[in-house]
Amino acid sequence: MALDHLPETGVRCHTGEGGSEEPQVVPEARSGRRRSNRLLPGLLEVVRFQFNPKDGIDNPALSLAEDSEPEGALQLRFCFLKKEEGEDFGFWLRQEVGNSGHLVRHVKSGSLAHRKGLRECDRILEVNGVYVDDMEHIRVVWKIKRSGKQVLLTVVDGEAYSLARALDRNLAQLLPRYDRPRLCCVAKNQNGFGFSVSSPQGVKGVFRVSVVRNGPAEKAGVPDGSWLLELNGMNVKNWTHARLNKKLKQSNSPMGLLVINAESEEFYRQHNVKITAALANSSWLPFEVRKLQMTRGPDGYGFLLKEETCGSGKKGQFTREVDAGLPAEKAGMRDGDRLLGVNGESVEDLNHHGVVFKIRADSKQVTLLVIDEEGSKFFDLVGVSPLVFYDDQDMSGK
Q: Averaged over 315-338, what is the pLDDT?
A: 97
Q: Collect all residues with Cβ–Cβ distance below 8 Å to 149 and sequence separation of at least 6.
A: 82, 83, 84
The fraction of the chain above a pLDDT of 90, given in percent, is 65
pLDDT at 391: 82
pLDDT band at residue 376 using 50, 70 and 90 as cut-offs: very high
pLDDT at 24: 40
Q: Averaged over 65-78, what is the pLDDT?
A: 59
pLDDT at 243: 96
Q: Would you say 276 and 306 are in contact if contact means Cβ atoms under 8 Å apart?
A: no
Q: Is the pLDDT of residue 43 over 90?
A: no
The 10s digit of each residue's pLDDT in 120-146 is: 999 999 999 999 999 999 999 989 988
Q: Is the pLDDT of residue 361 over 60?
A: yes
pLDDT at 146: 85
The 10s digit of each residue's pLDDT in 277-294 is: 989 999 999 999 999 999
pLDDT at 274: 83
pLDDT band at residue 394 using 50, 70 and 90 as cut-offs: low
Q: Would you say 223 and 259 are in contact if contact means Cβ atoms under 8 Å apart?
A: yes
Q: Is the pLDDT of residue 16 over 60?
A: no
Q: Is the pLDDT of residue 97 over 80?
A: yes
The candidate with the shortest Cα–Cα distance to 127, out of 159, 96, 150, is 150
pLDDT at 150: 86
Q: Is the pLDDT of residue 88 over 50?
A: yes
